[in-house]
Chains A and B, each alone.
Chain A
Amino acid sequence: QSALTQPASVSGSPGQSITISCTGTSSDIGAYNYVSWYQQHPGKAPKLMIYEVNNRPSGVSNRFSGSKSDNTAFLTISGLQAEDEAEYYCSSYRFGSTYVFGTGTKVTVL
C-alpha cells in the first residue's frame, strides 16, 4: 500500500501563492473524488483543510483551495502567511475500502 507522492518541500514569500501536488494512481485519486488535505503544525494533530477535492470546512480560510486532474490532486495556498508554515498531507480513498495518505510537504514561508 504505497503512499501518495508529494514534494518534500515548497516555499514562498508572504503574499505569494504556492501549489502542492499529490500524485496517486487510477485506483485512488484518479478513481474517486475523496481527496482531502490536512495541515499539521509541529507537535499538533492534523487539521482538515480541504475535503472531496475542493470543499473547505467551516472556519478554513478561503486562501486554501483544492483541485484534481487525472491521478494528481493539488492544494493551492494564496496570499501566503507566516501561520501557513506547516506540514501538509493529502489523502485519498482507495479501491478496496482503504485509505492512503501522501508523503507530506513542508511549507516554508520565506
Chain B
Amino acid sequence: QVQLVESGGGVVQPGRSLRLSCTASGFTFKSCAMHWVRQAPGKGLEWVATISYDGRSTYYADSVKGRFTISRDDSKNMLFLQMNSLRTEDTSVFYCAPTVRTPFEEWGQGTLVTVS
C-alpha cells in the first residue's frame, strides 16, 4: 500500500530556512508527479507546489513563488521542499501527495512547520 512519511518540520524564526522531506513507498515513485499541500492551524488546504514525474517541470503557488523550491530524488524515492525566507504565515502542517491515478490521491500524516 502507498505510504508517505513527511519529516523535517520544526520551529524556525522568521527569515530562516527549512528543508522538508517526504519518503514514499508502495507505488512507482519515478512515474508520478508529486505535490506539497499545506494547512495552517484551523484553516483549509492550500496547494503549494508540484513537480513533474521527470523533475523537469515545477509549479508554485503565488504565495511561495521565489521562496520555496520543490525537488525529487528518484533513486531514494524522496521528495523535498526547500523553504527560504520563511514568514509567520507559512506556519502549517505540510503534506506530500502523489499523482498516481489522480492528483492528491494519497496523503501522509504531515509535518508541522512553526515560524515564530
Interface residues of A (CB under 8 A from B): 1, 3, 34, 36, 38, 45-48, 51-52, 55, 57, 89, 91, 93, 96-104
Does residue B47 face the partner (Cβ distance < 8 Å to A)? Answer: yes
A102-B44 in contact (CB<8A): yes
Instruction: Enumerate 17 A-B pairs (CB-CB under 8 Å) in ascending A order.
Output: A1-B61, A46-B107, A47-B107, A48-B102, A48-B104, A52-B102, A91-B45, A91-B47, A91-B103, A91-B104, A93-B103, A97-B50, A98-B47, A99-B50, A101-B37, A101-B44, A101-B47
Contacts of B47 in A (CB 8 A): 91, 98-101
Interface size for chain B: under 10, 10 to 19, 20 to 34, or 35 or more residues? 20 to 34
CB distance from A3 to the nearest CB of B (A): 7
Given A1-B62, A47-B107: A101 touches B50 (CB 8 Å cut-off): no
Given A1-B61, A97-B50: A48 touches B105 (CB 8 Å cut-off): yes
Given A1-B61, A36-B103, A91-B104: A45 touches B110 (CB 8 Å cut-off): yes
Contacts of B110 in A (CB 8 A): 45
A103-B44 in contact (CB<8A): yes
The residue among A3, A89, A101 with the most chain B CB atoms within 10 A of its own CB is A101
CB distance from A51 to the nearest CB of B (A): 4
B105-A57 in contact (CB<8A): yes
**Minimum-distance CB pairs A-B, first 3:** A51-B102, A45-B107, A99-B47
